[in-house]
Amino acid sequence: MALFEALVALHVATGVVGLTAFWGPIVTRKGSGWHRKWGKAASYGFLGAGALAIAMALLSLYGQEYRHPEITDRALYDGLFGWMMLYLGVLTIGFVDYGRAVIRHSRDRCALRRLRYQAVIAAVVISGAWCGIYGFQVEHPLMMLVAFIGIVAMLIQQRYIWRAADFPHSAYVGEHFRALIGMGISAYTAFMSVGLIRLVPEHVFNPAIWAGPSVVGVSLIIYFTLKAKKAAAPKPSDARPHPQ
């Protein structure tokens, strides 16, 4: 138990850094020094929290201690605090990795086809598929929802990677932004799993509470995507012929 509690403390520490710094890149001017600093802090915080979430999930599934005996539905507990937490940890790392990679390789998108990046995406899809299957078996819609969102996100990324020639150069900005929001969704959801069972144990299996980060995150993606399309659309004055 001491090891698990130490992992929880480290998870909370790294998670607080990531969850706090997460809003910095959203509210600061894109490309500015503060934008990059906040983004780097959020990335490192989420990478640490994601790795620790994976470690805690494995201990919950395969550790010798029988944690939280007050929860009688152990199959559902293994699903939410084992397989889904493991998947969310992998998903968080995957979003961070992709979000940084599209910036690093903005002029050479084919670099994203390397095994190093494809292996991370494959890990997300495989862990997400099992999360969804297990969620179907225990009849919990949240597990299926987060699995669906993550897998669809990976397919969108693959479309960008393998059809790079069809996208304008500036498309990497949108990919970077979606990855940023995505890592926030997965990290907030995983982070709630640590706090909910301690703060409001009676609602720990309430899908409405767990779905909150996904609803907010997807709404932000839709809002900023529509805003970007509106800003990029040609103005009526641009369509008028210029006088000779």
Token pair listed for 81: 């605090």
Cα distance between residue 137 and residue 234, in whole Å: 50
Q: Please write the tens of the pLDDT for every residue from 137-175.
A: 988 888 898 898 889 889 988 988 888 666 676 778 778
**Which residues are within 8 A (CB) of 202 and not within 5 positions of it... i.e. 6 or more apart?**
none
- The model scores a pTM over 0.95: no
Cα distance between residue 61 and residue 68, in whole Å: 13
CA-based end-to-end distance of the chain: 80
Residue 187 has pLDDT above 90, yes or no: no
**Which residues are within 8 A (CB) of 3 and not within 5 positions of it... i.e. 6 or more apart?**
59
Residue-level pLDDT at 212: 64
Rounded to an integer, the average pLDDT of 10-35 is 83
Token pair listed for 109: 């998108």
Unique residue bearing structure tokens 């909370």: 12
Mean pLDDT of the chain: 79
Band (pLDDT 50/70/90 cuts) for residue 15 is confident
b/e code 209-222 from CB counts within 10 Å (16+ = b): ebeebbeebeebbe
